[in-house]
Structures are given as C-alpha cells and as structure tokens.
Amino acid sequence: MQAIILAAGRGIRLGSLTENTPKPLLKIGEKPILQHVFESLPSEIDEVLVVVKYLGNKIKEYFGNNFSNFKIQYVEQGEMAGTAGALWSARSWLDSKPFLVINSDDLYSLDDLQILIKHDLAIGLYSVEAADGNFYGVRLDGQGNLCGFEKEAADKKLVSTGAYMLDQRIFNYAPVKIKNGEYGLPQTLLKLALDYPVSGVMMKNWFSGNTTEDLKKMEKFLKLNR
C-alpha cells in the first residue's frame, strides 16, 4: 500500500522557526516531526510519496530514498497550491489501489492509522472543544459518513485530522478552490462523498503542528508516553 505525506507547506504561523528549516524537520523530542510520522505508519505501507516544495531539498537530504524500511519517492508540488494540489501532484505516481494521505507536521498513532487503512474511503476525525475556532467541524450522516462541514458547533465538534483513505475515484472531481486561493482536499473530498460513502473514523491520539503552542503540546504528550 502507498502513503502520501504532504510536506510542501511553508509553516508561516511558526514564524522564524521555519525560516531555514522546513516544518516537517522541526524537532519534537529528539526527532523531526516527520520521523514521528514515519514511525506511525502501519506495516502495510510499502512505499511513501512525500510531496515537497518549501526547502524540500533539506527533507530529501535528511531522509534519503529509504527510511525506517520504507521506500521513499519525492514529488515536487506543482503550481496548484494547497492539500488537493499536493495530492494531484502525486497522482501519476499512484497505483490502482487505495492509498493513505496524511500530513507531515501532525502526530498520529499507529493504532489509529491501522484502523483507518481498513477502509476504502475514509476521513480521520478527532473531537475538540467548539471554542477552538482554528478548525471547521465535520458533519456525519446517520450512517457515520461524511456529509458536510460547519464553522460553528455546540459543545464539541469533530474535525479532520488530515488523514484520509482514498482511491482513484477522488480524481474524478475537480479540486475545490478555497478562500485563500489554495485547493482544499477536504472540500474536494466532500464532492466525492455526495456520490460514495466516506466513513468518519474516530482517532484517539492526534496533534496538529500549526503553531508554537501546538509543538509544546506535542512535546508534552511524547514525554508522558515514553
């Protein structure tokens, strides 16, 4: 099975930390975030496609073409920015089987990804406080399948972890351009979900690495679970 790791972003919200270091190489504990991501991949994954752009050469130099028993191919993100743009850049490298898509700057657990890859089409979800306005809520229908997104929610809301199980059907839908001018994978996935069931899969452990506060939370979690 193939996994696509999205590692092209600049990480603007991390300020000076990413001026000379790509966000996936920022260290949590003694390892870069991306190394933690590699270590969370299920054994069913035999090839990893890493989509790079900003300071991508540094990522290539650090991990090479084989790391932690995974064969690695590097794909340069093209002109189409955003998470859907990254996936489309890797399209020609994919075989005909379902594939995993995850972020390079988030912490996932092996157990959660192991459950996710059992689905043909799925979106990984995590429950957060509704007061956290950094994420849109994910709406599920009565069968637990993706049916929409919402900005406001009551007490808690489900958010996307940036982890997806997809197959070639996603490429039958034009990538959706969002407000910042990028092309969003969740928004494009919703178009697919109107025609095919996309399972919402709850994840027990997940940390997003968007801000310095997020990095501190990652560090604390790893210290407690060593």
pLDDT digits (tens, 9 = 90+) for 131-175: 566 678 999 999 999 999 987 655 678 999 999 999 999 999 999
| CA–CA separation, 155 and 160 (whole Å) | 17
Give the model's pLDDT for residue 129: 81
Res. 51: pLDDT tops 80: yes
Answer yes or no: pTM beyond 0.75: yes
**What total number of domains does the chain contain?**
1
Give the model's pLDDT for residue 180: 84
Q: Domain of 126?
A: 2-224
Res. 30: pLDDT tops 70: yes
Domain at 49, CATH number: 3.90.550.10
How confident is the model over 169-195, as pLDDT tens digits? 999 999 999 988 999 999 999 999 999
Res. 130: pLDDT tops 80: no
Burial class (CB in 10 A: 0-12, 13-18, 19+), 67: middle
Q: Where are the alpha helices (DSSP H) in 55-96?
A: 56-63, 83-89
Res. 17: pLDDT tops 90: no
